[in-house]
Chain A
Amino acid sequence: GENVEQHPSTLSVQEGDSAVIKCTYSDSASNYFPWYKQELGKGPQLIIDIRSNVGEKKDQRIAVTLNKTAKHFSLHITETQPEDSAVYFCAASNAGGTSYGKLTFGQGTILTVHP
């Protein structure tokens, strides 16, 4: 089955700096890669996603890049703010395949933005 590795496990930045979180996946059939933000006591919330027919996607301060050949994808947050502090999870799935869109999550990155 799919295996997703996520790095780093913790990331500390100063407000205004950029933050980058990286993930690798094992199943070359995976074609859907969402990123979730989880705040304390809450469920994960989708912040951005990318499909395998796209190399990059941007939404305001958040961007995701995908390298299908190397099987890795990254989350980029620019101009970080204290409210960006949370746990971030990457995930992968074969949307439309026999895994029925099952999401496999990475281990998470604790992002702390210092004012």
Chain B
Amino acid sequence: EAGVAQSPRYKIIEKRQSVAFWCNPISGHATLYWYQQILGQGPKLLIQFQNNGVVDDSQLPKDRFSAERLKGVDSTLKIQPAKLEDSAVYLCASSQRLYNSPLHFGNGTRLTVT
């Protein structure tokens, strides 16, 4: 089966600019996650979708970050305006079900904010 696809792989922007990341989960996976991984740390959950509804966005900085999952398949994560501390790898993951289902990660988008 095809894995989780993410684009772009790399992005460099200046602070206060905006950026968007795209994710296509594994076919048939109902649950989609966006994680932020700062260099040297473990991934941290930003937002979790079940189909096209938000399950958990408690750690999403909503003043600058937004995400959507239209039609319950692809998802986009947007940052506007970006700050220096947003430099990180943004990982998308999907799983078949909300519970008791392993997460499959994409290779991520490395964002550098200068």
Q: Mark B72-85, 1 if CB is under 8 A from A, else 0.
A: 00000000000000
- Which residue of B55, B91, B108 is within 8 Å of A100 (Cβ)? B55
13 additional A-B pairs beyond A100-B56, A107-B40, beta carbons within 8 Å, are A32-B100, A34-B102, A36-B105, A41-B107, A43-B105, A46-B102, A46-B104, A89-B42, A95-B100, A96-B100, A99-B56, A104-B45, A105-B44
Chain A residues with Cβ under 8 A from B24's Cβ? none
Chain A residues with Cβ under 8 A from B18's Cβ? none
Q: List residues of chain B with CB under 8 Å of any chain A CB.
A: 4, 31, 40-45, 48, 50, 55-56, 91, 93, 95, 98-108
Provide 28 A-B residue pairs closer than 8 Å at the C-beta atoms, listed in order of the A residue: A34-B102, A41-B107, A42-B107, A42-B108, A43-B93, A43-B105, A43-B106, A44-B43, A44-B91, A44-B105, A46-B103, A46-B104, A89-B42, A89-B43, A95-B100, A100-B48, A100-B50, A100-B55, A101-B31, A101-B98, A101-B101, A103-B45, A104-B45, A105-B42, A105-B44, A107-B41, A108-B41, A108-B42
Given the known interface contacts A41-B107, A44-B91, the answer about A101 and B43 at a Cβ–Cβ threshold of 8 Å is no
Q: Mark A28-39, 1 if CB is under 8 A from B, else 0.
A: 000010101000
Q: Name the distance in Å between B80's Cβ and chain A's nearest Cβ.
A: 24
How many of chain A's residues have a CB under 8 angstroms from any CB in B? 26
Q: Name the distance in Å between A64's Cβ and chain B's nearest Cβ.
A: 14
Given the known interface contacts A34-B102, A101-B101, the answer about A106 and B108 at a Cβ–Cβ threshold of 8 Å is no
- Which residue of A43, A100, A106, A107 is within 8 Å of B107 (Cβ)? A43
A43/B41 in contact, CB under 8 A = no
Chain A residues with Cβ under 8 A from B41's Cβ? 107-108
